[in-house]
Structures are given as C-alpha cells and as structure tokens.
Amino acid sequence: MANEQAVAPRATPARLPEGYNDTGEQTALDWAGVNERLEQSKHFWFSTAGAGGSPHARPIWGAWIDNTLYADGGVHSTRWGRDLLANPHTQVHLESATEVVIVDGDFTLANDLTAEAFDRVRASYLRRYESYQPESADGLFMVKPRHVLAWVNFPRDVTRFEFS
C-alpha cells in the first residue's frame, strides 16, 4: 500500500449513547483534515495491554504515510513493544483532548514500505524531529488502521472513519 495513492476511508457520524447530543446536530468531519493532523503529529500515544490485561500507554515518534503509521525502536526491549508482540491490537491517540484523533489498528513487526515511501517516512521524521530519522526501513514497524474516531466539536462532529 505504501507505494499506492492512499484511498480515503468511509466517514460516518459516530453513534453516541443517548443523551450525549441533545441538539440533534451531527456532521461528519472531512478525512483530509484528520489525515493532516496525523501527518503533522509529533507524538503518537500507543495504548497496549499486558498479558494480565494491565493497561499501558507511551508516546512514540512515528510517521503517518499513506494511511499507515510507521515507527521504530523498542519493540523487543520495552513493555509496550512486548505487549504489541503478544497482542497486536492497539489504539493510538494524538496529544490533543479537544481535537481528538484515535486510531484503532493492528501492529505488525514487518512493513510494506517501498523505497519511495521510506524516503517520505525519513523526510517526515526529519521535518518533525530535526536531527533523527530512521536509517533503514527494516527497523520500522507499522500500525494499519481498522477505523479512526475523530472530533473537534464534541459531540456534534464525532466521526468514525472505516478502512477496508
């Protein structure tokens, strides 16, 4: 996928529990704006669960390219990495609690990067982290989204983006 043009996911207003939006106003966000926030984010908060179900959250550097999050480091030597190796389901949240983006996705140790896409990952790292960029695509893992939940005006624009 990393060498193809990313296809925008299907957007639908998210279903909220009764009483969350008494105004009845509900509009879907545009994927382009959500995608831009993912592309520009400096920190991605990974949420994992240990073998006993104990939650764990850590900020990790990464790059959102073609509807996929690529990141490196610590998979075999950190708790979050061992959690992902044991249970690949993860949530990744951006830093803002008012302009929310939550990615529900699946971790894989391998990645699908072409040489051109890896160059874009390196450029993304360099633009946001100044002196650091991955040396090799071999060291990068990826998170493929199943769906993304986002909003900027809760509860009126809570939007669920579905990936196929």
- Calculate the CA 66 to chain-centre distance: 11
Task: Look at residue 18 and tell me if it is in a domain.
Answer: no
Task: Look at residue 47 and tell me if it is in a domain.
Answer: yes
Q: pLDDT tens digit string along 94-115?
A: 999 999 999 999 999 999 999 9
Q: pLDDT tens digit string along 120-163?
A: 999 999 999 998 999 999 999 999 999 999 999 999 999 999 99
Task: Look at residue 19 and tell me if it is in a domain.
Answer: no
Q: Among all chains, which residue has been given the structure tokens 């960029």?
A: 133
Domain count, the chain: 1
Residue range(s) defining the domain that contains residue 45: 28-154
Task: Look at residue 122 and tell me if it is in a domain.
Answer: yes
Task: Look at residue 16 and tell me if it is in a domain.
Answer: no
Distance CA 127, CA 143 (A): 21
Task: Look at residue 14 and tell me if it is in a domain.
Answer: no
Task: Look at residue 80 and tell me if it is in a domain.
Answer: yes
- Determine the longest span between alpha carbons in the chain, in angstroms: 51
CATH code at 53? 2.30.110.10
Task: Look at residue 34 and tell me if it is in a domain.
Answer: yes
